[in-house]
């Protein structure tokens, strides 16, 4: 029914009924009684209306704690509608609060920085990533002008030129950031920051790696091509010279082969498609193999000892062989003839340890932290003379990363070095672990 009718029809009916009642009293008892009753009825109605108005005003002042009555007459539907409105309002409020909480949580987790500013760049709000990227603190810097907080000439120029359709790359607080201002609403702007420091670092490493690898491959290739050119230009080379050239070419070929093998090993170790599948590793067999290789490389020029007292472990035999083999081969290659080398597998304070100790040329302190970088060599010519690829320690590092191990290097120039691999207790095979506890 029409809401107007719904309101007026019952009200009019009530009035008619009241008038009818008063008329009956008038007819039966006379005008005085009728007027008296009419007055009482009016007074009661006024009182009821006032009382409902009072309760309504009370409720409006304090909608949480005050209660609305069920009401009478037209008030019933008014109160019911008010109740419904309040319930809907509470529901909307709860939904809004939930959305706000979700939005805040998303903003907190966002790796990109978001700064909300007004039209004249005064900071209103920022998320933790923006605090980290720009060195801001929301509580402290709220209401400050962003240009006073981000003191970068490039950022100033960006603001002055106002070409916000293009992002800007700045270096700020040792970070490389891509920033962009996006105007939104009428009088607000968002500053978005994206940290590309790590991406840049990886990109630079990739570029360096390609440059280094190409350089390493080009050198032996130049030698081989040089000899091939001589051979094709001078067909009547004597047998001795030809044999010498072939020997040198073979050596360079082997060098390239080692390099490519090491690069492939490294890329496999880094690949996520090639996860470690731990298997029981027979350490005695592995150490014997490492010792045999080291003796072969040394060709009797060094005194090489081996001790194997530690437990068997779970891991990849091939990878551990490659890591320990690289350390043993380094010990041989960087120790002058007559020196001694000790290879040990033993129980350490926090788990088993592999130690390759030599009395070789040693490494001065400033190089030690960089040794596991690809192609980093202290002495390039010595590394090449001894068939080094410059990737051995990088391989060791990656194998240890995959096995949860660590590498410590102790070295004194001209005295010798100790490369200490510490494996976690968790890689000890369970059976051996139990036996050790006994």
Strands (E) across 119-255 are located at 123-126, 168-172, 175-184, 188-195
One of 417, 422, 427, 428 touching ligand ADP (CB under 6 A): 417
Query: Which contacts qualify for 253-259: CB closer than 8 Å, 24 or more apart?
Result: 253/220, 253/224, 254/387, 255/220, 255/384, 255/387, 255/389, 256/217, 256/220, 256/221, 258/387, 258/389, 259/213, 259/216, 259/217, 259/389, 259/391
By the rule CB under 6 A, 261 interacts with ligand ADP: no
CB of 134 or CB of 213, closer to ligand ADP: 213
For ligand ADP, give the closer residue by CB, 187 or 382: 382
Q: Considering only residues 130-189, where is the footprint of ligand ADP by CB under 6 A?
A: none
Least Å distance, CB 324 to ligand ADP, is: 13
Min dist. Cβ of residue 165 to ligand ADP (A)? 48
> By C-beta, is 333 or 402 nearer to ligand ADP?
333
Nearest to 399 by CA among 292, 295, 306, 327: 327
Q: Taking the complex as a whole, how short is the minimal distance between the CB of residue 286 and ligand ADP, in angstroms?
A: 19
Residue 393 interacts with ligand ADP (CB under 6 A)?
Answer: yes
Least Å from the CB of residue 345 to ligand ADP: 17
Query: Which lies closer to ligand ADP via its Cβ, residue 308 or residue 409?
Result: 409
268-327: which residues touch ligand ADP (CB under 6 A)?
326
Determine, following the binding rule CB under 6 A, whether residue 352 of this chain makes contact with ligand ADP.
no
* Binding status of residue 390 toward ligand ADP by CB under 6 A: yes
Shortest approach of ligand ADP to residue 413 CB, angstroms? 9
Spatial CB neighbours of 420, under 8 Å, sequence gap ≥ 6: 353, 354, 355, 407, 408, 409, 410
Cβ atoms 358, 383 nearer than 8 A: no
Output 351 or 392, the one with its CB closest to ligand ADP: 392
Cβ(353)–Cβ(346) below 8 Å: yes
Q: Which of 344, 377, 398, 402 binds ligand ADP (CB under 6 A)?
A: 377
- Identify which range of 113-121, 244-252, 353-361, 398-406 contacts ligand ADP by CB under 6 A: 353-361
276-298 core/surface letters (b: 16 or more CB in 10 A; e: else): eeeeebebeebbebbbebbbebb
Beta strands in 272-326 (DSSP E): 279-281, 303-308, 313-315
> Which 356-375 positions form the footprint of ligand ADP (CB under 6 A)?
358, 360-363, 371
Geometric angle at alpha carbon 370, from 215 and 111, rounded to 5° = 95
How far apart are CB 327 and ligand ADP at their closest, in Å?
Answer: 7
Task: Give me the residues that bind ligand ADP (CB under 6 A), please.
Answer: 326, 330-331, 334, 358, 360-363, 371, 376-379, 383, 388-394, 417
């Amino acid at each position: 029914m029409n809401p107007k009718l719904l309101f007026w029809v019952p009200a009019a009916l009530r009035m008619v009924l009241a008038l009818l009642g008063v008329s009956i009293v008038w007819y039966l008892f006379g005008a005085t009684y009728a007027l008296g009753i009419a007055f009482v009825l009016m007074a009661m109605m006024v009182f009821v209306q006032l009382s409902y108005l009072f309760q309504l005003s009370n409720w409006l002042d304090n909608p949480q704690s005050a209660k609305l009555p069920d009401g009478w007459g037209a008030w019933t539907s008014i109160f019911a509608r008010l109740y419904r409105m309040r319930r809907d309002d509470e529901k909307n409020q709860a939904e809004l609060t939930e959305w706000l909480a979700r939005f805040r949580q998303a903003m907190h987790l966002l790796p990109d920085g978001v700064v909300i500013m007004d039209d004249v760049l005064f900071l209103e709000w920022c998320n933790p990533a923006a605090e980290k990227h720009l060195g801001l603190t929301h509580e402290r810097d709220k209401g400050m002008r962003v240009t006073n907080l981000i003191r970068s000439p490039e950022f100033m120029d960006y603001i002055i030129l106002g070409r916000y359709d293009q992002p800007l790359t700045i270096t700020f607080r040792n970070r490389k950031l891509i920033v962009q201002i996006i105007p939104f609403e009428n009088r607000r702007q968002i500053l978005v920051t994206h940290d590309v420091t790590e991406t840049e670092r990886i990109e630079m490493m990739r570029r360096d790696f390609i440059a280094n690898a190409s350089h390493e491959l080009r050198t032996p290739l130049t030698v081989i091509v040089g000899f091939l050119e001589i051979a094709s230009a001078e067909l009547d080379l004597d047998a001795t010279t030809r044999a010498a050239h072939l020997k040198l070419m073979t050596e360079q070929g082997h060098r390239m082969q080692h390099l490519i093998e090491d690069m492939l090993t490294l890329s496999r170790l880094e690949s996520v498609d090639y996860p470690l599948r731990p298997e029981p590793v027979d350490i005695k067999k592995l150490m014997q193999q490492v010792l045999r290789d080291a003796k072969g490389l040394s060709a009797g020029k060094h005194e090489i000892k081996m001790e194997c007292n530690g437990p068997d472990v779970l891991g990849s035999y091939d990878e551990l062989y490659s890591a320990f083999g690289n350390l043993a081969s380094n010990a041989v290659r960087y120790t002058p003839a007559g020196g001694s080398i000790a290879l040990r597998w033993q129980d350490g304070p926090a788990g088993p340890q592999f130690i390759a100790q030599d009395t070789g040329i040693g490494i001065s302190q400033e190089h030690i932290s960089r040794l596991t970088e690809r192609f980093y060599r202290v002495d390039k010519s010595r590394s090449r003379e001894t068939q080094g690829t410059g990737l051995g320690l990088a391989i060791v590092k990656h194998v240890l990363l995959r096995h949860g191990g660590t590498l410590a290097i102790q070295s004194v120039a001209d005295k010798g070095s100790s490369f200490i691999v510490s494996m976690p207790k968790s890689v000890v095979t369970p059976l051996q672990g139990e036996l050790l506890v006994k």
